[in-house]
Amino acid sequence: MLTVALPKGGLLEDSIRLLQQVGLDFSAFLDSANRQLEIWDASRTAKALLVRNYDVPVYVEYGQAQLGIVGYDILREKQPQVAHLVDLQFGRCRLSVAVKESSPYRSALELPPHSRVASKFVHCAHDYFQSLDLPVEIVPLYGSVELGPITGMSEAIVDLVASGRTLKENNLLEIERLFESTARLIAHPLSYRLNQDGLHDRIEQIRSLTSAHVPA
């Protein structure tokens, strides 16, 4: 039996649409009246788990799901032991450094040493500033990261940016891009190697629907 971990939020609708194209229908998750976190497809040969984006690689790494769909940003931050298989080419956004529009800084290197940088992407932010040889204090925030510079708690933030509307509405300015992120198909490494439940066929079906892939 195949189990797929699906992310709540912005990636869900495109994920379900993609899986429908390979014969897996988990569209019940899109029903606002539905409160189930585990559902079966019509054939009862596969099921899906609806979990937080951050938790998708955890369920896959620990073998509770053979496949998962998750943002590349999460994979970079958590670095789970999973097989990276396919770039699904949706959910496009970027991880960026932003400051207040009134700030004098227009590049990350202009930030003073030991500045505070607020982010929920603690490891990504740390690695980026380390690569610049710029010592900063990373302040972990998991809610409205934009409030860091607004309240004066931090000089900058590292956060996901899609349209940039949220930054603009809060008078923040994007000054650097760390990397681009899209949705990725991942697999449990042992299940992938053993081709459990015809996993390879499913993966190839999905890969055929995309224009790019990430080698396992």
Opening angle at CA 111, ends 146 and 79, nearest 5: 65
Report CA torsion sign: 64, 70, 73, 76. positive
The pLDDT, as a whole number, for residue 113 is 97
Nearest CA-CA partner of 78 in 101, 62, 96: 62
Distance between CA atoms of residues 6 and 52, nearest Å: 8
pLDDT tens by residue, 69-102: 999 999 999 999 999 999 999 999 999 999 999 9
Domains of the chain by residue range: 2-91+182-208, 93-180
The pLDDT, as a whole number, for residue 7 is 97
Give strand ranges (E) for 20-140: 38-40, 46-51, 67-71, 83-87, 93-100, 115-119, 136-140
The pLDDT, as a whole number, for residue 216 is 43
The pLDDT, as a whole number, for residue 212 is 46
Report CA torsion sign: 56, 62, 65, 66. positive
- pTM for the predicted model, two decimal places: 0.91
Within 10 A of 5 (CB to CB), how many other CB atoms are there? 24
- Identify the CATH homologous superfamily for domain 2-91+182-208: Periplasmic binding protein-like II (3.40.190.10)
The pLDDT, as a whole number, for residue 214 is 53
What parts of the chain have a pLDDT lower than 50? 212-213, 215-216
Q: Which CATH architecture has domain 93-180?
A: 3-Layer(aba) Sandwich (3.40)
Distance between CA atoms of residues 161 and 99, nearest Å: 13
Distance between CA atoms of residues 216 and 89, nearest Å: 17
Judged by DSSP in three states, 198 sits in helix
Token reading at 124:
């990504």
Report CA torsion sign: 14, 18, 21, 22. negative
The reply to whether 93-180 shares the fold of 2-91+182-208 is yes
Task: Provide Rg for the chain, Cα atoms.
Answer: 19
The pLDDT, as a whole number, for residue 118 is 98
